[in-house]
Amino acid sequence: MIEPQLVNNTPHTIETSAQDALLRLAESYEARIRIEQYCSGTQNMEHDIALAADAANAHGLILIRLYSWKPWCISLGMNQKETDIDIVKCRNEGIDVVRRPTGGRAVFHARELTYSFAMQLQGGISHHDVYAGFHAILLNAVRSLGAQGAGFEQSQPNFAELYSNNHDTLSCFASSARYELTSGGKKLVGSAQRKYGTVLLQHGSLLLDSGFERLAEFNAGLNDDQRESFAETVRTKAVTLSQITGRKIGFQECAAAIMNELQRVVAIRT
């Protein structure tokens, strides 16, 4: 995972920096967007990798996908051990298991909106700018849906140390990186990046409703007490858009809000 960097991490500076990064993206790029609901885990990862390949020949264009998963799926980070997950139990319960091309930790993809995009880095735009700027798009979108308390994570943990010390960190949603979206100290959006030369691939999950916490059921090698500890960690450190707003928000409504925000700030190419 490529981690965003910022020297001054006060809330005002972080939000201002993210919105400034968004403006720089809007000045340098157009976007092409497609919605692909209900793809399998294998299809979704193949499509994301293909997106990165297409971006190599798409100068000045951000190629964006908004998608969901059918069946539900566990995705592992690029360097995560497959033995972290009970593969046999997943197979028996109809849960897909795939490996993402990016880093980070496991995600149980259930009731969520997943986004991905690929682009060439150009004109002095860095992957840090992109990370901040796209999360600004997501923040503006979820606020338009009523999540006024959502904001950017301010701190940046030492992930290497965090991952080595605690089995509870199996889940992507057990900890937050700077610029990821949170509300009330709980994680709403988790994202990761990978660079292929000058091409950047980024994707992430926006939790819409319950289901993500089921990752604990498929955590291999834990006793019952450890599994419950893990489940409690995920429940207490993550939050859904429906919980924040107090109403059910589905994929289509959330996708429309993101589309509206993209159209507001970036020229859309068909």
Task: Confirm whether 254 is a catalytic residue.
Answer: no
Report the C-alpha gap between 253 and 258 in whole angstroms.
9
Report the C-alpha gap between 211 and 235 in whole angstroms.
10
Report the C-alpha gap between 9 and 32 in whole angstroms.
32
E strand residue ranges, the chain: 30-39, 61-69, 73-76, 96-99, 107-109, 112-120, 151-152, 181-183, 186-187, 189-196, 199-207, 267-268
The amino acid sitting at 161 is: E
Report the C-alpha gap between 183 and 230 in whole angstroms.
21
Length, in residues, of the chain: 270
Given 3-state DSSP classes, what are the helix, strand and coil percentages for the chain, each rounded to the nearest 5? 45, 25, 30
168 backbone φψ class: left, alpha, beta (φ>0; ψ -120 to 50) = alpha
Catalytic, out of 39, 73, 172, 254: 172
Which tokens sit at 84?
């972290």
If we measure between CA atoms, which residue out of 78, 118, 115 comes closest to residue 99? 78
Query: Which active-site residues does the annotation give?
Result: 172
